[in-house]
Structures are given as C-alpha cells and as structure tokens.
Amino acid sequence: MNPLQEDMESALTGSQSPHTSLRDVHSINPTHLMARIESYEGREKKGISDVRRTFCLFVTFDLLFVTLLWIIELNVNGGIENTLEKEVVQYDYYSSYFDIFLLAVFRFKVLILAYAVCRLRHWWAIALTTAVTSAFLLAKVILSKLFSQGAFGYVLPIISFLLAWIETWFLDFKVLPQEAEEENRLLIVQDASERAALIPGGLSDGQFYSPPESEAGSEEEAEEKQDSEKPLLEL
C-alpha cells in the first residue's frame, strides 16, 4: 500500500475516534438529570417521605385501635361511666385496662415526636417504646388478673404487643432503609449532573471536519505528470 495512503487513513481514524468519544460523553442528557434532581428535591421539600408518613399513620392507627377496644371493654362491663370511674379513679394495676390505654398514648407521643416532628433517622426511639411496652405487658400478664375478666383480658395485651412489634419491624426494615436508598440516589444524580456541567456544551457533528478520503491513484498520476513535464522544461 502507498505510504501516503496509510498516513491519510491513520489520520482519518484518529480524527474519528475523538469525535466518537465526545459524542458518547454528550449522550448524557442534562435535561433528564435535572428532572430527576428536581423530583428528589421535591420530595425533600415535602419534609416527610411517603414511607415515613405511612409509618406515622400506622402509629395513629395503633392509638385509635387500642382506644376503641378499651371503650368497648368499658361499655361491656357495666356501662362506660361506671367502669371508667372504677378503672381510672379507682385504678387497680391487677384488674384495670387503663394502663394499657396509657401505654398506647405513650407510644403515639414518643414516635410521632421522634419520627414526624424531629424526623429522626435512628431506631433508638422505636426501641425505647417497644422495650417499655413489652416489659410492661409481660409483667401485667404475669401479675394481674386480666384472664379472669373475659375475652378482653386476652385481646388488649396481645393486640398492644403485636402493634408495638409491627411498628418496630416497619421502621427498621422499610422506613430507614428506603430513605437511605433515596438519599444515595440523590447524591449519585447530583454528582452526575455536576460532571455533565463540566463538559463543554453545544458540541454538534458539524463542528468536526473530516477531510474527504482521496484516491491513491490521483496522487500517483500527479507525480507522473510532474516527471513528464521536467524534460520539457529542460529543453
């Protein structure tokens, strides 16, 4: 092959390779990146994530459900007024359900304050409420006389115990991991957008000029023509 042709082909290959690499870099769509950043920032501006809001709703359900069961128990055992006076005013640890209701209020206040108002991202608050609930209910079941008072002696302690542990599971395995994952995604998208901003914009295919490939025969004909003209000039 003609050395001149080899040089031209290597030059053409070199000019096409940076063209391709730059085109690959600009395949990153800044508009798409900004849209994703705005979506993540919109979630941050809401102040509370969807999964955390669901957790707070479940904590509210915990309080309302235990309250409903306690009111039903008051109404079943001789009327709300008489039973309320007996369980609240004349409180007896061994026979009253009022402390189980107060335990639900305690869980509600601590968890809403910690994870809705203060927006904690740690499990210590739910660990505190679950530990207090479990210890109190176990002691009450062992020492009190609830089982001799009908079905509510079984229902209220078991329901309170289950709700407390469901809240712990939901926070530890759903809320905190999902929020951490969304935060990592936001950091990755922001980093990608910063890198894309450093790349010169506005590059198009028209800005890259590749010279047309010349034929090898044309160069050889030009050299032969010059050689034929030299003797004529000498004459």
pLDDT at residue number 188: 83
Query: From start to end of the chain, where are the E strands?
Result: none
Of 206, 225, 182, which is closest to residue 39 (Cα–Cα)?
A: 182
Q: Is 189 inside any structural domain?
A: yes
The predicted pLDDT at position 171 comes to: 96
205 within a domain of the structure (yes/no):
no
The predicted pLDDT at position 13 comes to 47
Tell me, what amino acid is at 8? M
Count of the separate structural domains present in the chain: 1
* Residue 177 located in a structural domain: yes
Distance CA 161, CA 16 (A): 70
For the CA atoms of the chain, what is the radius of gyration? 39
Domain region containing 159: 48-194
Report the pLDDT value the prediction gives residue 12, as an integer from 0 to 100: 43
Can you give the length of the chain in residues? Answer: 235
Spans of the chain below 50 pLDDT:
3-5, 7-8, 10-28, 202-209, 216, 232-233, 235
Assess if residue 200 is contained within a domain. Answer: no
Q: Per the confidence metrics, is the pTM higher than 0.75?
A: no
Residue 8 domain-assigned? no
Whether 31 maps to a domain, the answer reads no
Whether 130 is covered by a domain: the verdict is: yes
| pLDDT given at position 166 | 97
- Whether 206 maps to a domain, the answer reads no
How far is 228 from 29, CA to CA, in rounded Å? 59
Residue 61, SS3 per DSSP: helix
Amino acid 46 reads K
CA–CA separation, 26 and 197 (whole Å): 11
Gap between the Cα atoms of 70 and 146, Å rounded: 13
- Helices 98-112/50-76 angle, 10° precision: 170
Angle subtended at Cα 139 by Cα 87 and Cα 75, rounded to the nearest 5 degrees: 25
